[in-house]
Chain A
Amino acid sequence: SYVLTQPPSVSVAPGETARIPCGGNHIGSKSVHWYQQKPGQAPVLVISNDSDRSSGIPERFSGSNSGNTATLTISRVEAGDEADFYCQVWDTSSDPPHVFGSGTKVTVL
């Protein structure tokens, strides 16, 4: 099965930039999606297909994907950005075909 690796946590001061990596074998050849999940809430799609922002998501959220790492970047971090973030890919040759990373807790200091 395809494995996506994320750090358990990232801490960032308000106004600074948070970068959340998602590692996978040749992940640059796949489409990566990112979901934000706040405590007690359902996940929300924030970035699709590596870098497409969902409707209503601030421009401060951006994504990139190359080589063996995809990255979600949150610029000018705000207290309200504190959440768990999950990367996800659909790998038609993998079992299971839909894979989530283990998640990264973003803490705003």
Chain B
Amino acid sequence: EVQLVESGGHLVQPGGSLRLSCAASGFSLSKFWMHWVRQPPGKGLVWVSRINSDGSDTTYADSVKGRFTISRDNAKNTLYLQMNSLRVEDTAVYYCARRLDPIDSWGQGTQVTVSS
């Protein structure tokens, strides 16, 4: 069974940093492109970033470019999102998601709250 389990979400002050992790099981992470998608409270889904299967190609939404870094450790079957210079508007549930297009599996999400 495909499972994606996110962790690392916390309450953090504006300007702070967090690293989210997504542990994959039931499949080989190395075979898939992966995404991070976020959902602000009471709002819709927003694509954040993607990474190709070997980590050599990354793409970001303009709203996080230069502040967030997506990476992966295929040996550990884990996806990451390093989030720096966090802003109040980054507050959201962050989902990791599998496959370039369409996204065929989602984690349950981890809550990131940016507030003073």
Q: Is B107 among interface residues, defined by CB-CB distance under 8 A?
A: yes
Alpha-carbon distance between A100 and B44 when the two chains are bound, in angstroms: 8
Say whether A100 contacts B101, CB under 8 Å. Answer: no
Enumerate chain B interface residues (CB-CB to A < 8 A).
Answer: 35, 37, 44-47, 50, 59, 61-62, 95, 100-104, 106-109
Residues of A within 8 A of B44 (CB): 84, 86, 100-103
Which interface class (under 10, 10 to 19, 20 to 34, 35 or more) fits A?
A: 20 to 34
Residues of A within 8 A of B102 (CB): 31, 33, 45, 48-49, 88, 90
Known: A96-B47, A98-B50. A31 touches B101 (CB 8 A): yes
Enumerate chain A interface residues (CB-CB to B < 8 A).
Answer: 31, 33, 35, 37, 41-45, 48-49, 54, 84, 86, 88, 90, 95-103
Alpha-carbon distance between A49 and B47 when the two chains are bound, in angstroms: 18
From the candidates A43, A44, A54, name the one contacting B45 in the complex (CB within 8 A).
A43
13 contacts between A and B (CB under 8 A): A33-B101, A35-B45, A41-B108, A43-B45, A43-B95, A45-B102, A95-B62, A97-B50, A97-B59, A98-B47, A98-B50, A100-B37, A100-B47
